[in-house]
Amino acid sequence: MKVLIISQPVLSKTNNMGKTLMGYFRDFSPDDISQLYLHEGIPENTDVCEKYYCYSDSDAMKSILNHKIQGKSFTKESEVFKKKDAEEVAEKDEIYKLGAAHKAWMLFVRDTIWKLSSWKNRELLKWLDRTGADVIFFAPGDGAFIYRIADEIARYLNKPLIMVCMDDFFINNRNKKEILGGIRQKNFMRVVNKTAKDCDMIFTICDEMNDAYGKLFEKKCLTLHTVAERKNVQLAQTARHVSYIGNLKCGRYKTLIDIGKALSELRDENVPNVIDVYSGTREFDCIEPLKKAPGINFCGEISAESVLEVMANSMAVIHTESFEQEMMELVRFSVSTKIAESLMYGPCLIAYGPEGIASIDYLKENNAAYVISRPEDLEKGLEEILTNKELREQIVRNARALALKNHNADVNPRKVRKWLQEVVDKSQNESSTN
């Protein structure tokens, strides 16, 4: 079975979506996987995929301006590890930083550029034919253009289309306060609903998203939990640190300040009175309040290797979500890769956030973290879990069992292969019957 992946980021060991996609197809033959990615970037390896085609926003713009064929293909014989000119990369990074705000007018402009572009050029069509794809695996974003492209390619190749949903773009309008927010969301959902109707199967990343999207699209959805590779992490029995590793956005920096304040006010000499915060977030509004807050030791960004070291030397790691209603809507279905990694090889996970958010509910239902879901319980809860080693060890045992069941890197590839093969077989049987 040959699979064509369509997504914005390229398969990657660093980007969250790229890493997740690599996990889905890690047990497939690299020769059977092709990827069309609609973003800047050079493929990192050929471990999972050997055939790539890159068509970015800048390619779309150039095709309008000079009417020439844009985009480029890579194979395992290509010199993919050569770095681009630093000036070129910097220039394009600035373009994507501008678009990272995802404002309604920016999304309108971007969608218009792709509509006017000549992305469906003869070189891409030749490349698509050469993939020999039996099925198309589509990982979308919040731009309407990628849905149109996936739909059109599925019709061109006459192959079944599978969509995997990793976010809540369809239910939560993040631009609703903007002048163009309502109009943009209406136009966006018109395109999404058409593509979803054409899909042969839809995957989501959690059961809550399954229920919501099953009702929205009137289709059965299947869960593919976020996976984590097993790591050989030896947890220090005498660890004395409490750590947070991850993003500070969506109000998380505010709840970390609350945790730091609660820790600083504990008077038990066996309990740490600070939380070490590791994050690559660069927003001034998130970082500066943390640096000034009691009970917070802001450590900045660290490497993937250092993350393992921090986990090994922590008695607990924190997962937190905001109690603000607007932020709760933004992260309603969020189950980050950091949670899967913590469950698989980290120390005791302390989760602080409101009920009704997928990550908090999931951890609480499976007793895989010490969950504090009310602000008034924070100080007492922190003291209980940080002074009770046996309770922390029991939670870690529960976490490992849950990780092996739902987040084991061997589980999803088997599910993906099985479910995709079912769709391919059904499609081929219908074709032979007609």
pLDDT tens, position by position, 265-280: 998 888 899 999 999 8
Amino acid type, 320? T
Across the range 130-155, mean pLDDT stands at: 96
Structure tokens at 104: 């309604």
Within a domain: 23 = yes
Nearest to 109 by CA among 140, 149, 145, 138: 145
Question: What local confidence, expressed as pLDDT, does residue 98 receive?
Answer: 44
Q: How far apart are CA 32 and CA 376, in angstroms?
A: 54
Question: What local confidence, expressed as pLDDT, does residue 85 receive?
Answer: 40
Question: What local confidence, expressed as pLDDT, does residue 101 receive?
Answer: 58
In a shared domain, residues 372 and 426: no
In a shared domain, residues 265 and 125: no
Residue 84 scores a pLDDT above 60: no
Q: How far apart are CA 84 and CA 88, in angstroms?
A: 7
Q: Which domain holds residue 270?
A: 241-407
In a shared domain, residues 187 and 252: no
Whether the Cβ atoms of residue 124 and residue 157 lie closer than 8 Å to each other: no
Residue 210 scores a pLDDT above 80: yes
CATH code assigned at 264:
3.40.50.2000
Confidence of residue 434 (pLDDT cuts 50, 70, 90): low
**Residues sharing a CB contact under 8 Å with residue 332, sequence separation 6 or more, in sequence order:** 168, 171, 172, 208, 356, 357, 358
Helix (H) or strand (E) holding 36: strand 33-37
Whether the Cβ atoms of residue 136 and residue 154 lie closer than 8 Å to each other: yes
Q: What is the pLDDT of residues 20-29, one digit of tens each?
A: 898 899 889 9
Find the helix packing angle between 104-116 and 57-66, rounded to 10°: 50
Q: How far apart are CA 129 and CA 340, in angstroms?
A: 37
Q: How far apart are CA 233 and CA 402, in angstroms?
A: 17
Structure tokens at 76: 């395992």
Q: How far apart are CA 372 and CA 320, in angstroms?
A: 10
Domains in the chain, number:
2
Helix (H) or strand (E) holding 208: helix 207-217
In a shared domain, residues 261 and 376: yes
What is the distance of C-alpha 365 from the center of its chain? 22
Residue 81 scores a pLDDT above 60: no
In a shared domain, residues 402 and 276: yes
Within a domain: 108 = yes
Q: How far apart are CA 421 and CA 99, in angstroms?
A: 37
Within a domain: 212 = yes
Q: How far apart are CA 343 and CA 363, in angstroms?
A: 10
Across the range 384-390, mean pLDDT stands at: 96
Bridge partner residues of 75 (DSSP): 51
Residue with tokens 């943390």: 290
Q: How far apart are CA 49 and CA 331, in angstroms?
A: 31
pLDDT over 90 percentage in the chain: 70
Q: What is the pLDDT of residues 155-206, one digit of tens each?
A: 999 999 999 998 888 988 888 888 888 999 999 999 999 999 999 999 998 8
In a shared domain, residues 187 and 275: no
Question: What local confidence, expressed as pLDDT, does residue 421 receive?
Answer: 95
Q: How far apart are CA 433 and CA 263, in angstroms?
A: 67
Within a domain: 236 = no
Compute the radius of gyration of the chain from its Cα atoms: 23
Question: What local confidence, expressed as pLDDT, does residue 200 receive?
Answer: 95
Across the range 210-237, mean pLDDT stands at: 90
In a shared domain, residues 177 and 212: yes
In a shared domain, residues 380 and 416: no
For 292, other C-beta atoms within 10 Å of its C-beta total 10
Residue 361 scores a pLDDT above 90: yes
Whether the Cβ atoms of residue 11 and residue 18 lie closer than 8 Å to each other: yes
Q: Which of 314-318, 410-414, 421-425 has the lowest mean pLDDT?
A: 410-414
Question: What local confidence, expressed as pLDDT, does residue 323 receive?
Answer: 96
Confidence of residue 80 (pLDDT cuts 50, 70, 90): low
Within a domain: 123 = yes
Q: How far apart are CA 48 and CA 34, in angstroms?
A: 9
Question: What local confidence, expressed as pLDDT, does residue 191 receive?
Answer: 96
Q: How far apart are CA 286 and CA 281, in angstroms?
A: 8
Amino acid type, 72? K
Within a domain: 274 = yes
Residue with tokens 């069941």: 405
Bridge partner residues of 102 (DSSP): none
In a shared domain, residues 60 and 176: yes
In a shared domain, residues 60 and 144: yes
Within a domain: 233 = no
User: Phi then psi for 390, rounded to 5 degrees?
Assistant: -65, -40
Average pLDDT, the chain: 90
In a shared domain, residues 12 and 116: yes
Q: What is the pLDDT of residues 33-71, one digit of tens each?
A: 999 999 988 888 788 999 999 999 999 999 999 989 999
Q: Does the reported pTM lie above 0.85?
A: no
Within a domain: 234 = no
In a shared domain, residues 170 and 49: yes
